[in-house]
Amino acid sequence: MPAELRARIDSLHVVHLRDLEEERTDYRWREENIPADARPGRFLRHEHPIVYRMPHTDQDTILVNELLTSHVAELPRDAGEALIQQLFAEIYADDNVYEHHWQTNDVLIWDNLALQHCRPAEMGLPTRRLRRQSIDGWYTRDGLLDWQETVVASASYERT
């Protein structure tokens, strides 16, 4: 990522929206597009820093994605959308994308905090099974990181 872009986003936050009633992977909700008659609680709204330090690696990651990101909190909508599109161009550039061509007995393991992932609309054969393994904590040089404590601490980033 170019240094000037990184410096620009370092203190900014994005708002992510998630529809709890309909799981869509073909539509990016924007706050201004939420139906006026949507039942209260249908949409979860979370504000996160664009640049997020991952607790288990002390590396930064970018919390912007095509499915959940609505807008940049601190910018006017047009300027924020231009910045989001610039970030998408960086994140989804060909040299940042890995596409796995499945073969029988393949196993993929990824870090859900650091990696954006999706599947094609048509998976084809053979049948694939997803097994999710969640970790309740992570060993760091400062001891065990408790994910529940991390969730509580990160709540300061959320302005709902």
Evaluate if residue 84 carries a pLDDT over 90: yes
Strand blocks (E) in the chain: 13-19, 43-49, 51-53, 60-62, 69-72, 137-140, 143-146
What pTM does this model have?
0.71
Kindly state the tokens that stand for 11: 């203190």
pLDDT class of 124 with cuts at 50, 70, 90: low
* Tens digits of residue pLDDT in 126-138: 666 666 666 555 5
d(C-alpha 117, C-alpha 140), whole Å = 25
d(C-alpha 67, C-alpha 18), whole Å = 9
Specify the length of the chain in residues: 160
* Mean local confidence (pLDDT), 146-160: 45
* Tens digits of residue pLDDT in 21-73: 887 777 788 889 899 999 998 998 989 899 988 776 778 888 898 888 999 99
Largest CA distance in the chain: 49
Concatenating the DSSP letter of every residue in 104-140 gives TT------TTT------S---SS---------SEEEE
Beta carbons of 70 and 16 less than 8 angstroms apart: yes
